[in-house]
Amino acid sequence: MKYLKPAALYVCLFCVFLCASCALIIDSDLTDHDIREYADFSARGVSRIEVETSVVDVTVVSCHGDRIRFILTGSDSCSSVDFDTKQSGGIVSVSCDPEKPNAKYGHKLSLEVQVPDFLAPEFTIKNITGKIDFQYSGAERLCLSTSSGSIKIDSADVYAAAELRSNSGGISAGSLSAPRLNIINSSGSVSVSGLNVRNISIKNTSGSVTAAAFSLPDDLEIANTSGSITVTLPGDSSFFVDARSNSGRVECDFSVDGTAERRKVRGIVGAAKECSSPSVYLESVSGSVKIRKGGSAGNTCPAEETAA
């Protein structure tokens, strides 16, 4: 039997490696390509913007001028992407859906929605897989939902209601003003701060919930199945509180006229009346519940940090 000399063996191995690399490059070129789609509309008379996407990260930002712009960029393993935009009366809509998803190579698509800062329309954004990053300053009404992905709001004034839904992914919001805020999350943490909202409802199935109010809401209701609840309220607040946990400790920094037990706190704080607004209802099936005392109204820092 003849054996290859070391030099010849190295040459053979190098050729095998080179062929494999070339095959990988060719395969990548055939299955992945750059995507760039663009559409714009006049913002005059527009009262609602609708976005419906699949396997796309969505970002909404403010812009100057009087045009609404939809910009889809990234790389995709599909032969094409269904990118459809239209305007009907005061409604501008966009839908984006890869036609033939390739699980091996996946998608790297991003949709940026640029909206003139003077508009403040209604927003409805539905995403199947992908995050939603809302950076627009104002909206008449806000409805954001994703089946798998996070939702983030940097700062926004909503004149009607804000509704945030995610089946799998965290939800976070900062400096949000609205008459009503409704959050429904199945799996992932919820963190909202700087809230100036009259009515707050948060329902979470699995994950921690943290809420800090810039001003005392009329009604605050948080229910969590598996995870802790931490709420920070202005230190000079008066409210009715009913907080409980089936498996976890309940702690309250405020003096409560009523029941204060290991797993239940119920009673009146300050000059409030029983079972009337302002009211705070907190319940965790499995997890601790904490009500922290912040600074005065308009300062959500804990009292000890404010004093320092």
- Note the pTM of the prediction, 2 decimals: 0.83
* Beta bridge partner(s), residue 123: 49, 142
Higher pLDDT, 130 or 23: 130
Give me the amino acid identity at 160.
Answer: A
Q: Read off the pLDDT band of 174 (50, 70, 90).
A: very high
CA distance 30 to 27: 5
| Nearest alpha-carbon partner for 48 in 147, 206, 160, 189 | 160
The predicted-structure confidence for 228-266, as pLDDT tens digits, reads as follows: 999 999 999 999 999 999 999 999 999 999 999 999 999
The predicted-structure confidence for 15-59, as pLDDT tens digits, reads as follows: 444 343 333 332 333 345 577 899 999 999 999 999 999 889 999
Q: Read off the pLDDT band of 302 (50, 70, 90).
A: low
Half-sphere exposure of 211 (CA within 13 A, CB side): 32
Mean pLDDT of the chain: 86
Q: What is the pLDDT of residue 36?
A: 86
Which percentage of the chain shows pLDDT scores above 70?
81
Q: How many residues does the chain have?
A: 308
Q: Does the pLDDT of residue 304 top 90, yes or no?
A: no
- Let me know: does 241 contact 274? Beta carbons within 8 Å: no
Q: Read off the pLDDT band of 78 (50, 70, 90).
A: low
| Nearest alpha-carbon partner for 170 in 145, 147, 151, 192 | 151
| Buried/exposed code over 183-213 (b: 16+ C-beta within 10 A; e: otherwise) | bbbbebbbbbbebbbbbbbbbbbbbbbbbbb
Higher pLDDT, 304 or 159: 159
Q: What is the pLDDT of residue 8?
A: 55
- Let me know: does 43 contact 119? Beta carbons within 8 Å: yes
Q: Does the pLDDT of residue 5 top 90, yes or no?
A: no
- For the chain, the domains span 34-143, 180-295
